[in-house]
Amino acid sequence: MFNLILFGPPGSGKGTQSEKLIAKYNLKHLSTGDLLRSEISRKTALGLEAKKFMDKGQLVPDEVVIGMISSALDANPGAVGFLFDGFPRTAAQAEALDKLLELKNNSINVMLALDVTEEELVKRLVKRGETSGRTDDNNGNVIRTRIIEYHKKTSPVADHYRKANKVVLVKGEGSVDDIFKGLTKEIDARMKKS
Ligand code: B4P
């Protein structure tokens, strides 16, 4: 199996690049943002609870997202590998993911971290907010909260994988295709070895 974490702040292009990566490598895409938005649109109890946090730009409690990922891993026993998009977002989520993969005799091969300036992030999210209907994109305060949450709670996740020498920083600004090329170069180099 080849397991990849696509990492970066809100608006860094994780969702955009994941679509292209899963098409090329046939990995199973696990986006906690997409899973949560699907729960919200189906008005499930989990979705209604998650919405309270997402609308404020806060992270959803760890036990909720860890439970979702655990079920998704169990539901895909034959996957050639997983692309984790937007997960893990806290140190506790990273530890839980390592344990879940270990139970399957697996681990994370690499974390690719998209490098984008804060100015560009805000510009992208405001632009998406004009058309997406996403309640967390159309309010400047909520966007700022998401970036603060990232610095406080999510950036330590990179330290967790850095200790295991698994983090690679990839340029996240420029055209979508050029960024994709930068990501595939790193994946190809590691897939050969694994
Ligand atoms: P997510 O759904 O993960 O979304 P995101 O961080 O906002 O965006 P992403 O980086 O995927 O950006 P995208 O490609 O879409 O999270 C939403 C919320 O869910 C969180 O705030 C949190 O509340 C909750 N949540 C999710 N996972 C969680 C977890 N594990 N734990 C707790 N809570 C969790 O790109 C953004 C925009 O930029 C798009 O409009 C795109 O078109 C544009 N763009 C992309 N690449 C570009 C490029 N190269 N140039 C110009 N624009 C570009």
Any ligand 1 atom below 6 A from CB of 124: yes
Give pLDDT < 70 ranges for the chain. Answer: 194
Indicate whether residue 32 lines ligand 1 (CB < 6 A): yes
pLDDT at 43: 97
For residue 179, which atom of ligand 1 is closest to its CA?
49
Residue 107 gets which letter from DSSP? -
Active site residue 124: no
- Check residue 160 and give its pLDDT: 95
Selection from 70, 65, 85, 81 nearest residue 5 by Cα: 85
Q: Ligand 1 mean position to 143 CA, how many Å?
A: 11
Amino acid at 32: T
Ligand 1: residue whose CA is nearest its atom 30: 87
pLDDT attached to residue 138:
86
Whole-angstrom Cα distance, residue 154 to residue 90? 5
Give the pLDDT of residue 7: 98
Q: What is the pLDDT of residue 152?
A: 97
pLDDT for the residue numbered 133: 86
Active site residue 128: yes
pLDDT for the residue numbered 21: 98
Question: Counting atoms of ligand 1 from 1, which one is nearest the CA of 53?
Answer: 23
- List the structure tokens of 184: 């595939």
Q: Is 146 a catalytic residue?
A: yes
**CA distance from start to end of the chain:** 8
- Asked whether 70 and 18 are in contact (CB, 8 A), the reply is no
What was the pLDDT predicted at 192? Answer: 74
CA–centroid distance for 187 within its chain: 16
CB of residue 179 inside a 6 A radius of ligand 1: yes
- Pick the catalytic residue from 20, 56, 134, 190: 134
182 lines ligand 1 (CB under 6 A): no
For the question of residue 162 being annotated catalytic, the response is no
User: Ligand 1: does its nearest atom lie under 6 Å from the Cβ of 12?
Assistant: yes
